[in-house]
Homo-oligomer: A and B are copies of this chain.
Amino acid sequence: MVIDRKECAKLLRENGEFLVLSHEHPDGDTLGSAFALCEILRLMGKKRAFLCCDKISADFSYMTDGFTPDEVKNPFIIAVDVADVKLLGSIADEYGKKVDLSIDHHLSNTYYAKNNFVEDRAAACEIIYELAAELGVEKNRYMRNCIYTGLSTDTGCFRYQNVTPSVFRVAASLAEDGVDNVKINKIMFETKTKSFLRLEMIARETLEYYFDGKCAVITITQDMFRKSGSGEDECYPITALPRQIEGVLVGAVIKEQKDGSFKVSVRTEDGIDASEICKRLNGGGHKGAAGANFGNDYNEGKKLLLESIKISLDGIE
């Protein structure tokens, strides 16, 4: 069932025990939403617990340290920022069919829950912010920090296309009431681990330009992860790098998987459809960012990738 904010608030008021689920590989928005929601529930005098299939990075300790879960027996189950049951990861089988309420900002949400409250927002945290107001729960600093975390991480610190007037207005209100935005920005956007720096150096050595510099490709192998002490979870900024280079219209990062196969992440400038490039490789995604699997033959996969990129580049000329 599709529900609105008022109906969502009603469900929170009516129930007494809650279990809040976040998606696998938890990021700032799923965690910020989950812990802000848990805090709302606590302030309403409810019992609440939290579950995620993966370990939470120590970067988020300012959210997790302040959290002591209640014992819940037959909880009302809420998934936040989870567009699809599969994204619950290893707890999908156990909880996937039992989700009572999904609160999400992805229009691609599959409406898997009994009740689905989905709004097209930059971050799920934006929805939680308004839910608190709807419930008449006053936001304390901890909750504001949780909400700010989702808002800033999902918008690349107010940099991406998804930034709306509402995003800035929520940020203004959080800042007005007091929020540790500088501390959070530092953790989320400024700090680089030594292992990441090593990985980035090694990976950047592989940078290749094609088609008069309109395409740039970086390759990351498992051996590089071993040598740098880094891992898949630190790759994100490298994925963005090739397309950030002046003159580059299509950026690709080819990553070797643990099983020896290769995956490619493609990022494109406006006017070139990354999902089309990846569809020709049996992958898919969005206009600006898409992906595909290569199989185990790096050279053959890259050849097909470059052919597909060329078709799209030729299309704009």
Binding site for B on A (CB under 8 A): 157-161, 163-166, 168-169, 171-173, 175-176, 181-182, 185, 189-194, 197, 201, 204-205, 207, 213, 241, 244-247
Contacts and interface: CB of A to CB of B under 8 A. Distances in A.
A129 to B, nearest CB: 13
Contact of A197 (B171, B189, B204): B204
A192 B158 contact: no
Nearest to A269: B186
Contact of A168 (B168, B193, B204): B168
Which secondary structure dominates chain A's binding surface? helix
A247 B58 CA distance: 14
A168 to B, nearest CB: 4
A164 B168 contact: no
Nearest to A161: B182
A191 B168 CA distance: 24
A182 B269 CA distance: 12
B201 A245 contact: no
A191 B159 contact: no
A246 B189 CA distance: 12
A182 B165 contact: no
Contacts of A163: 175, 181-182
Contact of A159 (B157, B194, B241): B157
A197 B158 contact: no
A154 to B, nearest CB: 14
Contacts of A241: 192
A159 B159 CA distance: 10
A40 B207 CA distance: 46
